[in-house]
Chain A
Amino acid sequence: MPQIQIPSPLRQYSGKQASVAVPATTVGEALAVLVTQHPDLKRHLYTEEGKLRAFVNVYVNDEDMRYLQKEATALNDGDTISIVPSIAGGCC
């Protein structure tokens, strides 16, 4: 079953789990299962319009899903999905 890695700031909304196994065949399905199991995660990942927040990166193994087939990206058993909020800034 694919696993979703939860970054530390969001674990308070995933029952303190760092990794959640999801029965899913696509990335979109996996994220939908995740927020169904852990509804408090939804507003941190999605806008009110239901779009993934711009600063939330989703990787399948080592590939950005935006450069694969986005939410339609197929998953295999043992795939790892990483949710990575962006890390950026600057002095002025």
Chain B
Amino acid sequence: MLKLSQSAHISLRQHGEETYPYECCGVLLGRFDDDGSRTVARVAPCGNTRADSPHNRYSIDPKELIGIQREGRERGEDIVGFYHSHPDHPAQWSPTDLAEAHWFGCSYVITSVEQGKAAITNSFELVGTDEAEKKFEDEEIRLV
């Protein structure tokens, strides 16, 4: 389960509207709870480095991530997941999303943006122990 504040939920959906018709992306900072869920304290929007194909690809610059990670650590926050948008595509993970996902135990949040308006937001946890048998599992988003 992913626990998100209303403001974080609004923020990541708005980001998808702002970058439409291109994909947005960002980092979810917070904590891993003892019950296996993740609680988001903060949303950190990132630039999409895939300038060659931003309408259907996203990538976060590791250097930007390191800065976000460092600031999070100073506040006692960890990276618990990521988000991105699917412009005019469903809020479901794609084969590309799975192939490029490597943060096991983290949430991958996807918002469909239809004609510029954020529609559905879903979250998926990357589970497994190695690349050969990784998969996404649907997870509940609880607004807190």
Residues of A within 8 A of B (CB): 5, 7-9, 18, 43-44, 55, 57, 59, 62, 64, 82, 84-92
Query: A55 and B62: CB pair below 8 A?
Result: no
Given contacts A89-B84, A91-B94, contact A8 B78 (CB under 8 A): yes
A-B contact pairs, 16 of them (CB 8 A): A8-B79, A8-B106, A43-B130, A55-B100, A55-B102, A57-B62, A59-B66, A64-B63, A82-B66, A84-B62, A88-B59, A88-B60, A89-B99, A90-B23, A90-B97, A92-B94
Is B86 part of the contact surface with A, judged by Cβ < 8 Å?
yes
Query: B80 and A8: CB pair below 8 A?
Result: yes
Q: For chain B, what secondary structure do more than half of its interface residues adopt (helix, strand, loop), or is it mixed?
A: mixed
Is B105 part of the contact surface with A, judged by Cβ < 8 Å?
yes
The number of chain B residues touching the other chain, given as a range, is 35 or more
Number of residue pairs A-B, CB distance < 8 angstroms: 92
* Alpha-carbon separation in the docked complex, A90 to B102 (Å): 14
Stretch at the interface among B5-13, B49-57, B115-123: B49-57
Residues of chain B in range 1-41 having any CB-CB distance to chain A below 8 Å: 23, 25, 27, 32
